[in-house]
Amino acid sequence: MVKRMWFGSFMIIALIAVGVWVFFQSPFMQGKSAGEINSSEQGQSILDIQPIEAGSRPTKQFELTAKETDWEIQTGESVNAWTYNGTVPGEALRVQQGDFVQVELHNELEVPVTIHWHGVILPNRMDGVPGVTQDAVEPGESFTYEFIAEDAGTYWYHSHQHSSLQVDKGLYGPLVVEGKGEKPEHDEVFILDEWAVNQDRENWTNMGGMMMGSMQGDGEADTKEMYDTFTVNGKAGDAIDPLRMEEGETARLRFVNAGYQLHRLVFPEGSMEMLAVDAEPVQNSGERNVLEIAPGERIDVLYTKGEEGEIIGETPSVENSQDMQILVLSSDSDGENLQVKAEDAATSKGTSHASKDLLFETVPDVDVSYNMDLSMGMNMGEGMTWQINDRVFPDTPPIQVEKGDIVRVDITNEGRLNHPMHLHGHRFQVEAEDGGAVVKDLINVKPGESYTIYFEADNKGEWLFHCHDNNHADRGMVTIVDYTSVFSPFELNQTNQP
C-alpha cells in the first residue's frame, strides 16, 4: 500500500514537472520566429518554374474520386472511410519509367482534398500541398495532376489536406513506376496502416497515458494510445487476402507504411532480402528475417517461398500484431496453424544498407547548413505541440537555399517519440549502418538519435520537410525548403491546411 501511494505521488510530481517544462519550451513563452513561406511575390512564381509537356512520351491517364465509403475492415466490422475510388487503399496506379502521367482528381467529399505524390520528383506546383503549391480542391471541384515518371520504384499517393485526419481515414493508394524490362514473376504491393475502430483516436492527448507509454522507450507511446487495429491493404486479420505462390517461386514485395506507427515484419528464416528503400536500389543486403519500416517509408524486398504454407507478420510481442499477418499459401494449402516466429537480431531497415547509386561519392562541401532540433512543447489553449527549433509551423525557421546549393541538415531528436522526417521534391544522402551511404527521402529519427543528411537544391520551389507521423505534423513539426528566388502565390488558411 505504501509503495502504491509513493508511486502515485511520484507520478503526480513527474506530470507537473513535464507540464511546466513543455510550457516554458512552448512558442507562447519563447516568442515567434520570422520564418514563414516566401509569398512576397518577388522573383518567380512556382506556377511558372517548369513546363510540363508530354512530347512523344507515352501518356497514362487515371481518374481518382475522393468520396465517403462504408469500408469493411474485417468480417462484421466496418468503419466510415474516405477513399479514392471507393476502396482502401485506392487504385494501384502502375506506369512505366518515362511515362507522362495525368491524374484527374474529383472531390465528392464535403471537405477539401488534394493528392501528394509521395517520393516522386516532380515540378513544385504538382506536389499537392494546400496553401503552398495549390489551393485545396473544394467539394464538387476537380484538379488534374501532371508529371513525368522519371524514376522507377515504389511510391504512394495521399491527401495532404489536413493529412493527420484524411490519411487516417483512408485517402491513400500505391503508385508503382516500373523500370524498363521489369516483369517479375510476382509483384505485389502491401500498404500497412492503423485504425481506431473501437476507441477515440484523440485519446493520445492524455498526458498521463502518454508519459507512462514513453517510459517503454520504443518511441511509439502516442500511436499505441490512439489506434487499436492494424491493417494490410485496408483489411485486418483473417480478411487479409493471402499471397498465392508455389515452393521456390520468388516475388518482389513492395511495402508502404501509410500509418503513423513503426512496424517490424517477421519473415520465415532465410526468405527475405532487401531490394530498395524509398525507390532507391540497395546493394546486396544478405538474408535477414525482420523488416523494420517507418511511417511514410517504402521498402521493396525479394521474397522466396519455402516448402509449406508460410506467414509474414508483425512482431508477435506487439499489441494488435495478430491483425497484421500475410499468409503465403500454395494452391493446395489452407494456412491452418501458421504462426509468426519470434524475431531475431537480423533486421533490415531504411538506413541499414548502402544504395547502389549515390548523390555524392564523398562528403561534399556545403553552401547551406541547418540544425534541426525536434522537440515537444505546449501551446496555450491547444495542448501539446511538436516543434522544429522550438517553433511550430508556419513559424518554424525555413531552410533557405538557392538553386545549386549543397545543403547539410543536422537532425537531432532529444524527445521520447519517433519522428520520421520526410523531404518533398528531393532525395538526400545519409550514412548507412552497413557502411557507405543510403539515398532516401525519409529518415526515421528515434529518441536520442542524430543524423546528418546532404542534398542538392536542384528543384526550385517551396517544399515541405516534415514529420510523417502526420499527427505530429498537424501540431507543428513542419518546415519549408525555401528557394529564395521563387514565391508561392497561395495562402495558408483554414481551407488550405497541410
- Hey, where are the domains in the chain? 59-181, 193-204+219-348, 368-487
Would you state the cell numbers that stand for residue 440, as one nine-digit string?
A: 532516401
In sequence order, the β-bridge partners of residue 373 are: 412
DSSP string, 12-37: HHHHHHHHHHHHHTSHHHH---S---
pLDDT in tens, 417-459: 999 999 999 999 999 998 999 999 999 999 999 999 999 999 9
Query: Could you say which DSSP state residue 118 is in?
Result: E
What is the model's pLDDT at position 26?
Answer: 37
Q: How are the residues of the chain apportioned to helix, strand and coil, as percentages rounded to the nearest 5?
A: 15, 40, 50
Lowest average pLDDT, out of 44-48, 181-185, 253-257, 488-492, goes to 181-185
Mean pLDDT of 357-377: 97
Burial grade of 42 (CB within 10 A; 0-12, 13-18, 19 or more):
exposed
How many Cβ atoms from other residues are within 10 Å of residue 473's Cβ? 23
Q: d(Cα 182, Cα 202) in Å, to the nearest integer?
A: 43
The alpha carbon torsion through 235, 239, 241, 243 (nearest 10 deg) reads 100
- Give the H/E segment covering residue 43: none
Cβ–Cβ < 8 Å for 27, 477: no
Residue with cell 520570422: 34
The closest of 383, 400, 375, 397 to 460, measured between CA atoms, is 400
In the chain, count H helices and then E strands: 6, 33
In sequence order, the β-bridge partners of residue 213 are: none
- Calculate what percentage of the chain has a pLDDT beyond 70: 86
> 1 pLDDT exceeds 50?
no
Mean pLDDT of 317-345: 83
Q: d(Cα 323, Cα 231) in Å, to the nearest integer?
A: 6
How many residues does this entry show for the chain?
A: 498
Q: Residue 222's pLDDT band (boundaries 50, 70, 90)?
A: confident
| Encoded amino acid at 367, one letter | D
What is the model's pLDDT at position 208?
Answer: 45
In sequence order, the β-bridge partners of residue 137 are: 113
Q: Residue 139's pLDDT band (boundaries 50, 70, 90)?
A: very high
What is the model's pLDDT at position 50?
Answer: 82
What is the model's pLDDT at position 39?
Answer: 54
Burial grade of 379 (CB within 10 A; 0-12, 13-18, 19 or more):
middle
The alpha carbon torsion through 227, 230, 233, 238 (nearest 10 deg) reads -140
> 465 pLDDT exceeds 90?
yes
| Encoded amino acid at 372, one letter | M
Give the architecture (CATH level 2) of 59-181: Sandwich (2.60)
The closest of 210, 375, 134, 189 to 300, measured between CA atoms, is 189
Would you state the cell numbers that stand for residue 316, as one nine-digit string?
A: 508477435
Q: d(Cα 187, Cα 184) in Å, to the nearest integer?
A: 6
Lowest average pLDDT, out of 106-115, 185-194, 338-347, 427-436, goes to 338-347
| Encoded amino acid at 331, one letter | S
Residue with cell 509551423: 393
Q: d(Cα 346, Cα 144) in Å, to the nearest integer?
A: 44
CATH node for 193-204+219-348: 2.60.40.420
Q: d(Cα 93, Cα 103) in Å, to the nearest integer?
A: 10
Mean pLDDT of all residues in the chain?
88
What is the model's pLDDT at position 316?
Answer: 93
Q: Residue 382's pLDDT band (boundaries 50, 70, 90)?
A: low
Mean pLDDT of 172-179: 97
What is the model's pLDDT at position 10?
Answer: 35
Alpha carbon of residue 390 to chain centroid: 23
> 25 pLDDT exceeds 60?
no
Residue with cell 525482420: 290
Q: d(Cα 215, Cα 188) in Å, to the nearest integer?
A: 37
What is the model's pLDDT at position 201?
Answer: 63
Dump strand ranges (E) for 159-297.
Answer: 172-178, 187-195, 229-232, 243-244, 250-257, 263-266, 272-277, 280-281, 290-293
Q: Which CATH superfamily is domain 368-487 in?
A: Cupredoxins -  blue copper proteins (2.60.40.420)
Q: Residue 5's pLDDT band (boundaries 50, 70, 90)?
A: very low
